[in-house]
Amino acid sequence: MEQRYFQKEIETMPVEELQKLQSEKLVKQVRHVYENVPYYKALMDEKGITPDDVRGIADLHKLPFLTKADLRDAYPYGLLAKPLADCVRIQSTSGTTGRRVVAFYTQKDVDLWEDCCARAIVAAGGTKEDVCQVAYGYGLFTGGPGLNGGSHKVGCLTLPMSSGNTERQIQFMQDLKATILCCTPSYAAYIGETLKEQGCKPEDIPLKAGIFGAEPWTEEMRRGIEETLGIRAYDIYGLTETSGPGVAFECCEQTGMHINEDHFLAEIIDPETGEVLPEGEKGELVFTSLDKEAFPLLRYRTRDICVLSRKKCSCGRTLIKMAKPMGRTDDMLIIRGVNVFPSQIETVLLNEGYQPNYQIIVDRAKNTDTFDVNVEMSPEQFTDKVSDVLKMEKSLANAMKTMLGINPAVHLVAPKSIVRSEGKAVRVIDKRKLV
Ligand code: DLL
């Protein structure tokens, strides 16, 4: 079995030593945050905790949680722990100010983040001989920049393609003999389908591995991608709040993702009570960044439902493993790799003068997410003139695109035609069955 590592001494460190390292880092990090982030200091004060109360990872549970709501309250600078002059980068998620997460990085933060991505690439078999095609989005989204940096660190020839323009992706892949593909699993599947339609067989494609994440995907999807592209498909996990991709990555065993525990301390909690659950139990994943300088979140609730396992891995890594996320505790959808909250749609509707009577329908056709929004017209808005309806739909779709960053197909429907529910309104119909 393949057993390559990017930072062997860390990736295979005996667990006791690793936990000692985490404890040392945690003590320092708590002090750094307490002294530099008044927002978090106030949360600690409220709980009656001082940095002296945290002497190691066994004391982690004493610290208060941070949630997306805190990020919203503190937007944009409230959780910054370094002077802006020491920061060199921001990355962000899609969405309006209310939902947007803006994360700051010092040069060291960028460096460590790229190390994490490099670990993922090496675990997928990457070396300096490889040509790594990065087809995640570049820009504010962390996917492109993260894997790009990791690929440089490994010494691969990096193709910074960004997402989209599938014809060009395929041309570069073939002409420049890309051996590793990094993109969302749905885009990988789409590229695979397109190649198949062009009559390409897996053996005609130079790729050997893919590093796919940013959205949920199933084992069936993995098998499909592996077959059409003739590769091994590895999962990668991360979130903007903690850095981006590379918080966890899959190794040759392909049975869950090793968490880069020297940088990210993971816990599973009961989402209702906040109680820490023992290893092996399903709950909400919580991360504490141990090394981040500029945007160090302590006990950040990811909203991802997950299970951790310290079962010995045949790859030799001792880093704890997380299962594929099994859902979320909130209503966030990931559509074509973009995070979408139903409340964002609602905001657009209200801004544009519509009632919040709508239904989001997400499905997958030809390995691409379809995204439809049915919106009721009010009796005053109702018209049966097709050209007017088309105009209104187009304008609403544009407003949604501006808010979300992706384009829905908007369908205006007659007043009172969306079924009213007696309990919670069914706003989302997700037919993709991803978990
Ligand atoms: O999606 C970072 C990323 C980029 C990860 C490229 C992997 C590859 P956000 O846009 O902030 O960051 O979205 C984070 O996406 O909380 C999960 O719900 C979901 N997610 C990320 N990776 C996976 C995965 C990036 N491998 C949110 N499987 C997270 C399932 C994933 N869900």
Q: Number of C-alpha atoms within 13 angstroms, CB side, residue 144?
A: 16
Ligand 1 centroid distance, CA of 183 (Å): 11
Q: What b/e readout covers 306-341, taking b as 16+ CB neighbours within 10 angstroms?
A: bbbeeeebebebbbbbbbbbeebeeebbbbbbbbbb
Give dist(CA 117, CA 247) in Å, integer: 8
One domain, residues 81 and 192: yes
Can you tell me the mean pLDDT for 160-173? 95
125 lines ligand 1 (CB under 6 A): no
DSSP structure string for 70-113? HHHHTTTTTT--S-GGGEEEEEE-SS-TTT--EEEEEHHHHHHH
pLDDT digits (tens, 9 = 90+) for 368-381: 899 999 999 999 99
Residue 249 to residues 102, 255, 322, 418: CA-CA distances in angstroms? 23, 10, 9, 42
List C-alpha distances in Å: 194 to 183, 225, 366.
15, 12, 10
- The reply to whether 279 and 359 lie within a common domain is no
Residue 1 has pLDDT above 60, yes or no: no
Q: Is residue 2 in a domain?
A: no
Q: Does 358 fall in a domain?
A: yes
224 Cβ below 6 A of ligand 1: no
CA distances from 367 to 185, 312, 373 (A): 9, 34, 19
Distance in angstroms (rounded) separating the CA atoms of residues 127 and 130: 6
- Calculate how far, in angstroms, residue 44's C-alpha sits from the geometric centre of ligand 1: 29
- The answer for residues whose C-beta is within 8 angstroms of residue 154's C-beta and 6 or more apart is 6, 118, 121, 122, 126, 127, 128, 130, 132
Please count the structural domains in the chain: 2
User: Which protein residue has the closest C-alpha to ligand 1 atom 15?
Assistant: 214
Cβ–ligand 1 contact at 287 (below 6 Å): no
Tell me the pLDDT tens digit for each residue of 53-104: 999 999 999 999 999 999 999 999 999 999 999 999 999 986 655 567 899 9
Distance 384 CA to ligand 1 centre (A): 42
**235 shares its domain with 297:** yes
Mark whether 297 and 232 lie in a shared domain. yes
**What pLDDT does residue 161 have?**
97
Residue 3 pLDDT: 59
Cβ of residue 245 lying under 6 Å from some atom of ligand 1: yes
- Tell me the CA–centroid distance for residue 198 and ligand 1, in Å: 31
Ligand 1 centroid – CA 184 distance (Å): 9
Mark whether 15 and 79 lie in a shared domain: yes
Q: Residue 17: how many CA atoms within 13 Å on its side-chain side?
A: 8
One DSSP character per residue, 105-171 reads: EEHHHHHHHHHHHHHHHHHTT--TT-EEEE-SPPSSSSHHHHHHHHHHHHTPEEEE--S--HHHHHH
Nearest ligand 1 atom to alpha carbon 339: 10
Question: What percentage of the chain exceeds 90 in pLDDT?
Answer: 83
3 state DSSP class of 208 = coil
Say if residue 195 is in the same domain as residue 211: yes
Residue 303 Cα: closest atom of ligand 1 = 16
Let me know whether 181 and 244 are in one domain: yes
Do 286 and 368 share a domain, yes or no? no
Cα 264 to ligand 1 centre (Å): 15
Is 205 in the same domain as 167?
yes
CA distance 199 to 421: 48
Does the beta carbon of 163 sit less than 6 angstroms from any atom of ligand 1? Answer: no
Is residue 250 situated within a structural domain?
A: yes
CA angle 120, 189, 338 (to 5 degrees): 70
Q: Which of 278, 297, 330 is the last residue of a domain?
A: 330
248 Cα nearest atom in ligand 1: 26
Q: Are residues 128 and 147 in the same domain?
A: yes
- The finding on whether 212 has its CB within 6 A of some atom of ligand 1 is no
Domain contains 392 = yes
Q: Is 46 exposed, middle or buried (0-12, 13-18, 19+ CB in 10 A)?
A: exposed
CATH number of the structural domain spanning residue 349: 3.30.300.30
Q: What is the mean pLDDT of residues 151-170?
A: 96
Query: Residue 247 domain-assigned?
Result: yes
Ligand 1 close to Cβ of residue 179 (< 6 A): no
Cα–Cα distances in angstroms (integers) from residue 220 to residues 224, 226, 251, 284, in the given order: 6, 10, 18, 25
216 lines ligand 1 (CB under 6 A): yes
The set of residues, in sequence order, having a beta carbon less than 8 Å from that of 183 and lying 6+ positions away, is 134, 135, 136, 143, 163, 191, 210, 212
Among 269, 303, 330, which residue terminates a domain?
330
**Does a structural domain hold residue 435?**
no
260 and 373 assigned to the same domain: no
Which residue's CA lies nearest to atom 4 of ligand 1?
143
Residues 302, 347 within the same domain: no
The CATH number of residue 243's host domain is 3.40.50.12780
Across the chain, mean pLDDT equals 94
Q: Are 5 and 11 in contact (CB under 8 A)?
A: yes
Burial grade of 86 (CB within 10 A; 0-12, 13-18, 19 or more): middle
Range(s) of the domain holding residue 229: 8-330
For residue 3, being part of any structural domain is answered with no
pLDDT tens digits, 274-328:
999 999 999 999 999 999 999 999 999 999 999 999 999 999 999 999 999 998 8
Q: Is the CB of 237 under 6 A from ligand 1?
A: yes
- Decide if 260 is inside a domain: yes
CB–CB of 135/161 below 8 Å? yes
Residue that finishes a domain, picked among 330, 347, 364:
330
User: pLDDT per residue over 203-262, tens digit each?
Assistant: 999 999 999 999 888 888 899 999 999 999 999 999 999 999 999 999 999 999 999 999
* Whether residue 250 has its Cβ less than 6 Å from ligand 1: no
Q: Is the pLDDT score of 435 beyond 80?
A: no
The answer to whether residue 2 scores a pLDDT higher than 60 is no
Q: Is 142 in the pocket of ligand 1 (CB under 6 A)?
A: yes
Give the Å distance between the CA of 219 and the centre of ligand 1: 17
